[in-house]
Amino acid sequence: MNMDERIKRINELYHKSQSEGLTDEEKLEQSILRQEYVDSIKRNMKAQLDSIEIERPDGTIEKLKPSYKKKK
């Protein structure tokens, strides 16, 4: 299942939860899909931040590496 299909399924489950409620299996599926989506966003954000470069006034280019720590 690609990300577009996962997002579509997340939205389907959300609308169903608002109209008639979800079964326990659907609640678990919704939770898993949402976590996968959030993890994907975090990975994409990290990749974008890791690729930022700054040009200094003297012409040198410096990679901007954010100082974040992984949670243990």
Residue 72 pLDDT: 54
- What residue numbers bound the domain in which 11 lies? 3-63
68 within domain boundaries: no
Q: Give the span between the Cα atoms of 34 and 15, in whole angstroms.
A: 14
Residue given tokens 């959030």 in the structure block: 38
Q: Which of 33, 68, 34 is CA-nearest to residue 50?
A: 68
Measured from the Cβ of residue 21, the count of other Cβ atoms closer than 10 Å reads 9
Measured from the Cβ of residue 24, the count of other Cβ atoms closer than 10 Å reads 7
Q: How many structural domains comprise the chain? A: 1
21 within domain boundaries: yes
User: Percent of the chain beyond pLDDT 70?
Assistant: 90
Degrees, nearest 5: CA angle 20-22-27: 155
Residue 34 pLDDT: 96
Residue 4 pLDDT: 92
* pLDDT tens per residue, range 13-44: 999 999 999 999 999 999 999 999 999 999 99
CATH number at residue 53: 1.10.287.540
- Which contiguous run of DSSP H or E holds residue 45? helix 24-50
